[in-house]
Protein backbone atom coordinates (compact mmCIF):
# COMPACT_ATOMS: atom_id res chain seq x y z
CA UNK A 1 0.00 0.00 0.00
CA UNK A 2 1.27 3.48 -0.87
CA UNK A 3 1.29 5.82 2.13
CA UNK A 4 -1.59 8.30 1.94
CA UNK A 5 0.09 11.23 3.67
CA UNK A 6 2.39 14.02 2.59
CA UNK A 7 1.83 15.68 5.98
CA UNK A 8 3.95 15.19 9.11
CA UNK A 9 2.94 11.88 10.67
CA UNK A 10 1.94 11.65 14.33
CA UNK A 11 1.08 8.56 16.36
CA UNK A 12 -1.05 9.06 19.48
CA UNK A 13 -1.29 6.00 21.72
CA UNK A 14 -4.50 5.67 23.67
CA UNK A 15 -5.87 8.18 21.21
CA UNK A 16 -9.53 7.27 21.19
CA UNK A 17 -10.58 9.18 24.29
CA UNK A 18 -9.67 11.90 26.75
CA UNK A 19 -6.36 13.70 26.34
CA UNK A 20 -5.37 11.43 23.46
CA UNK A 21 -8.49 12.20 21.46
CA UNK A 22 -8.18 15.94 22.08
CA UNK A 23 -4.54 15.78 20.97
CA UNK A 24 -5.37 13.83 17.82
CA UNK A 25 -8.14 16.23 16.87
CA UNK A 26 -6.02 19.35 17.45
CA UNK A 27 -3.03 17.85 15.65
CA UNK A 28 -5.14 17.07 12.60
CA UNK A 29 -6.40 20.65 12.57
CA UNK A 30 -2.76 21.78 12.53
CA UNK A 31 -1.82 19.65 9.55
CA UNK A 32 -0.64 16.34 10.98
CA UNK A 33 -1.68 13.00 9.56
CA UNK A 34 -2.69 11.21 12.74
CA UNK A 35 -2.60 7.54 13.64
CA UNK A 36 -5.08 7.04 16.48
CA UNK A 37 -4.12 3.98 18.49
CA UNK A 38 -6.62 2.23 20.72
CA UNK A 39 -6.61 -0.99 22.74
CA UNK A 40 -10.28 -1.94 23.08
CA UNK A 41 -12.72 0.84 22.19
CA UNK A 42 -12.78 0.61 18.41
CA UNK A 43 -16.02 2.57 18.06
CA UNK A 44 -14.62 5.64 19.85
CA UNK A 45 -11.42 5.64 17.79
CA UNK A 46 -13.25 5.11 14.51
CA UNK A 47 -15.73 7.89 15.29
CA UNK A 48 -12.85 10.25 16.07
CA UNK A 49 -11.18 9.37 12.78
CA UNK A 50 -14.48 9.91 10.94
CA UNK A 51 -14.85 13.33 12.58
CA UNK A 52 -11.28 14.33 11.65
CA UNK A 53 -11.80 13.28 8.05
CA UNK A 54 -15.13 15.11 7.88
CA UNK A 55 -13.26 18.26 8.90
CA UNK A 56 -10.76 17.75 6.09
CA UNK A 57 -7.98 16.11 8.12
CA UNK A 58 -6.09 12.86 7.69
CA UNK A 59 -6.37 10.09 10.26
CA UNK A 60 -6.45 6.34 10.66
CA UNK A 61 -7.40 4.13 13.61
CA UNK A 62 -5.05 1.31 14.61
CA UNK A 63 -5.67 -1.29 17.31
CA UNK A 64 -2.82 -2.44 19.54
CA UNK A 65 -2.23 -3.19 23.20
CA UNK A 66 1.02 -1.33 23.81
CA UNK A 67 1.96 -3.64 26.69
CA UNK A 68 2.44 -6.41 24.09
CA UNK A 69 5.68 -6.05 22.12
CA UNK A 70 4.37 -7.95 19.09
CA UNK A 71 1.37 -5.62 18.90
CA UNK A 72 3.62 -2.56 19.21
CA UNK A 73 5.71 -3.79 16.29
CA UNK A 74 2.53 -4.36 14.27
CA UNK A 75 1.29 -0.88 15.18
CA UNK A 76 4.41 0.91 13.99
CA UNK A 77 4.58 -1.19 10.84
CA UNK A 78 1.00 -0.19 10.05
CA UNK A 79 1.90 3.49 10.45
CA UNK A 80 4.85 2.96 8.10
CA UNK A 81 2.66 1.37 5.46
CA UNK A 82 -0.44 3.51 5.70
CA UNK A 83 0.94 6.97 6.49
CA UNK A 84 4.70 6.92 5.96
CA UNK A 85 7.71 8.01 8.04
CA UNK A 86 6.87 8.90 11.62
CA UNK A 87 7.87 12.35 12.83
CA UNK A 88 6.06 12.63 16.15
CA UNK A 89 4.87 10.36 18.94
CA UNK A 90 2.57 11.12 21.86
CA UNK A 91 2.93 8.39 24.47
CA UNK A 92 -0.51 8.85 26.02
CA UNK A 93 -1.92 5.36 26.67
CA UNK A 94 -2.29 4.65 30.36
CA UNK A 95 -4.48 3.10 33.03
CA UNK A 96 -5.44 3.62 36.65
CA UNK A 97 -7.00 1.19 39.10
CA UNK A 98 -9.51 1.57 41.94
CA UNK A 99 -8.19 3.45 44.97
CA UNK A 100 -6.14 1.26 47.31
CA UNK A 101 -3.36 1.48 49.83
CA UNK A 102 -0.10 -0.21 48.91
CA UNK A 103 -0.62 -3.08 51.37
CA UNK A 104 -3.79 -4.02 49.48
CA UNK A 105 -2.27 -4.09 45.99
CA UNK A 106 -1.84 -7.52 44.42
CA UNK A 107 0.72 -8.57 41.83
CA UNK A 108 -1.76 -8.57 38.94
CA UNK A 109 -2.65 -4.93 39.57
CA UNK A 110 1.00 -3.87 39.76
CA UNK A 111 1.97 -5.79 36.63
CA UNK A 112 -0.88 -4.24 34.64
CA UNK A 113 -0.03 -0.77 35.92
CA UNK A 114 3.65 -0.95 34.98
CA UNK A 115 3.23 -3.03 31.81
CA UNK A 116 0.97 -0.43 30.21
CA UNK A 117 2.11 2.81 31.80
CA UNK A 118 5.87 2.19 31.72
CA UNK A 119 6.91 -0.75 29.54
CA UNK A 120 4.45 0.18 26.80
CA UNK A 121 5.79 3.72 26.78
CA UNK A 122 9.36 2.43 26.48
CA UNK A 123 8.46 0.10 23.62
CA UNK A 124 6.75 2.85 21.66
CA UNK A 125 9.59 5.30 22.28
CA UNK A 126 12.08 2.67 21.13
CA UNK A 127 10.28 2.14 17.83
CA UNK A 128 9.91 5.88 17.29
CA UNK A 129 13.62 6.50 17.89
CA UNK A 130 14.56 3.71 15.48
CA UNK A 131 12.60 5.52 12.76
CA UNK A 132 13.29 9.18 13.57
CA UNK A 133 16.98 9.10 14.50
CA UNK A 134 19.18 10.98 12.07
CA UNK A 135 21.99 8.49 12.65
CA UNK A 136 19.95 5.36 12.05
CA UNK A 137 16.45 5.98 10.70
CA UNK A 138 17.20 5.91 6.99
CA UNK A 139 19.56 2.97 7.41
CA UNK A 140 16.91 1.02 9.31
CA UNK A 141 13.80 1.90 7.30
CA UNK A 142 14.79 3.58 4.03
CA UNK A 143 14.27 6.90 2.32
CA UNK A 144 12.18 9.42 4.19
CA UNK A 145 13.16 8.16 7.62
CA UNK A 146 15.88 9.55 9.87
CA UNK A 147 14.82 13.19 9.77
CA UNK A 148 14.50 13.68 13.50
CA UNK A 149 11.29 14.32 15.35
CA UNK A 150 9.64 14.84 18.69
CA UNK A 151 8.24 12.63 21.44
CA UNK A 152 5.88 13.83 24.16
CA UNK A 153 5.22 11.50 27.07
CA UNK A 154 2.03 12.01 29.06
CA UNK A 155 3.06 11.77 32.69
CA UNK A 156 1.04 13.12 35.63
CA UNK A 157 1.26 15.54 38.50
CA UNK A 158 0.84 12.37 40.57
CA UNK A 159 4.53 11.66 39.92
CA UNK A 160 5.46 14.46 42.33
CA UNK A 161 2.40 14.26 44.63
CA UNK A 162 2.56 10.51 45.28
CA UNK A 163 -1.22 9.95 45.41
CA UNK A 164 -1.26 8.42 48.91
CA UNK A 165 -4.24 6.26 49.88
CA UNK A 166 -5.35 6.11 46.26
CA UNK A 167 -2.85 5.47 43.44
CA UNK A 168 0.71 5.17 44.73
CA UNK A 169 1.34 2.58 42.01
CA UNK A 170 0.08 4.95 39.30
CA UNK A 171 2.18 7.79 40.74
CA UNK A 172 5.25 5.54 40.79
CA UNK A 173 4.66 4.52 37.18
CA UNK A 174 4.45 8.16 36.13
CA UNK A 175 7.60 8.88 38.14
CA UNK A 176 9.31 6.32 35.94
CA UNK A 177 8.04 8.18 32.88
CA UNK A 178 9.55 11.41 34.19
CA UNK A 179 12.94 9.71 34.58
CA UNK A 180 12.66 8.05 31.19
CA UNK A 181 11.85 11.42 29.59
CA UNK A 182 14.94 13.06 31.07
CA UNK A 183 17.30 10.22 30.19
CA UNK A 184 15.98 9.56 26.71
CA UNK A 185 16.01 13.26 25.82
CA UNK A 186 19.72 13.43 26.57
CA UNK A 187 20.39 10.13 24.83
CA UNK A 188 18.81 11.06 21.49
CA UNK A 189 19.49 14.81 21.29
CA UNK A 190 22.23 14.24 18.70
CA UNK A 191 19.79 12.11 16.70
CA UNK A 192 17.60 15.15 16.10
CA UNK A 193 14.89 13.97 18.48
CA UNK A 194 13.41 16.10 21.23
CA UNK A 195 11.74 14.32 24.17
CA UNK A 196 9.51 16.09 26.68
CA UNK A 197 6.64 15.27 29.01
CA UNK A 198 3.46 16.95 30.12
CA UNK A 199 2.25 16.35 33.66
CA UNK A 200 -1.51 16.91 33.76
CA UNK A 201 -3.22 17.49 37.07
CA UNK A 202 -6.94 17.06 37.68
CA UNK A 203 -8.35 16.84 34.16
CA UNK A 204 -11.97 16.19 33.20
CA UNK A 205 -11.71 12.82 31.44
CA UNK A 206 -13.27 9.41 31.96
CA UNK A 207 -10.06 7.91 33.35
CA UNK A 208 -11.33 8.82 36.82
CA UNK A 209 -14.47 6.75 36.34
CA UNK A 210 -12.36 3.82 35.15
CA UNK A 211 -10.56 4.01 38.49
CA UNK A 212 -13.80 4.07 40.45
CA UNK A 213 -13.87 7.83 41.22
CA UNK A 214 -16.08 9.52 38.62
CA UNK A 215 -16.43 12.69 40.74
CA UNK A 216 -12.74 12.98 41.63
CA UNK A 217 -12.12 16.23 39.75
CA UNK A 218 -15.14 17.93 41.32
CA UNK A 219 -14.29 16.64 44.78
CA UNK A 220 -10.68 17.87 44.65
CA UNK A 221 -11.06 21.08 42.65
CA UNK A 222 -10.88 23.20 45.81
CA UNK A 223 -7.30 21.98 46.29
CA UNK A 224 -6.27 23.51 42.95
CA UNK A 225 -5.08 27.14 43.09
CA UNK A 226 -7.14 27.89 39.98
CA UNK A 227 -10.15 26.29 41.73
CA UNK A 228 -11.17 24.03 38.85
CA UNK A 229 -10.27 20.98 36.91
CA UNK A 230 -8.63 21.29 33.53
CA UNK A 231 -9.84 20.16 30.14
CA UNK A 232 -8.31 17.61 27.82
CA UNK A 233 -7.99 20.35 25.21
CA UNK A 234 -5.88 22.48 27.55
CA UNK A 235 -3.43 19.58 27.88
CA UNK A 236 -3.54 18.99 24.12
CA UNK A 237 -2.45 22.58 23.48
CA UNK A 238 0.61 22.02 25.66
CA UNK A 239 1.42 18.78 23.85
CA UNK A 240 1.13 20.38 20.41
CA UNK A 241 3.41 23.21 21.49
CA UNK A 242 6.05 20.71 22.62
CA UNK A 243 5.78 18.90 19.28
CA UNK A 244 6.05 22.11 17.28
CA UNK A 245 8.99 24.10 15.95
CA UNK A 246 8.09 26.79 18.51
CA UNK A 247 9.61 24.43 21.10
CA UNK A 248 12.75 23.78 19.05
CA UNK A 249 15.06 24.52 22.00
CA UNK A 250 12.97 22.58 24.51
CA UNK A 251 13.94 19.03 25.40
CA UNK A 252 14.08 17.08 28.67
CA UNK A 253 11.30 19.32 30.01
CA UNK A 254 8.56 18.23 32.40
CA UNK A 255 5.70 20.65 31.77
CA UNK A 256 3.05 20.79 34.49
CA UNK A 257 -0.50 21.45 33.28
CA UNK A 258 -2.10 21.29 36.67
CA UNK A 259 -3.68 24.60 37.61
CA UNK A 260 -0.90 25.19 40.10
CA UNK A 261 -1.56 22.06 42.15
Alpha helices in the chain (DSSP H): 18-29, 42-54, 69-82, 107-114, 120-132, 137-141, 158-161, 168-188, 207-210, 216-220, 232-243
* CA atoms of 15 and 214, how far apart (whole Å): 20
Identify the DSSP state of 222: G
* CA atoms of 14 and 258, how far apart (whole Å): 20
Active site residue 170: yes
Q: Which of 32, 167, 170, 249 is catalytic?
A: 170
Q: Are 61 and 36 in contact (CB under 8 A)?
A: yes
The interaxial angle of helices 69-82 and 120-132, nearest 10 deg, is: 40
SS (H, E, C) 96-161: CCCCCCHHHCCHHHHHHHHHHHHHHHHHHHHHHHHHHCCCCHHHHHCCCCCCCEEEEEECCCHHHH
DSSP-based three-state secondary structure for 34? strand
Contacts of 180 (CB under 8 A, 6+ apart): 118, 121, 122, 125, 153
If 0-12 CB within 10 Å is exposed, 13-18 middle and 19+ buried, where does residue 102 land? exposed
**Residue 257 φ then ψ, to 5°:** -125, 75
Catalytic residues: 170
Amino acid sequence: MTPISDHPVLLVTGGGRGIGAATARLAAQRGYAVAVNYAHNASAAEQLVADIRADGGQAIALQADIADEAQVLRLFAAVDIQLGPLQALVNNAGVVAPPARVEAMDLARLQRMFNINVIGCFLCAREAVRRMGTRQGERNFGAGYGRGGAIVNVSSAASRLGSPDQYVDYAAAKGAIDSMTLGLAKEVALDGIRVNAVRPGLIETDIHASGGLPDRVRDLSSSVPLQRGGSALEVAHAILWLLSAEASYTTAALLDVSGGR
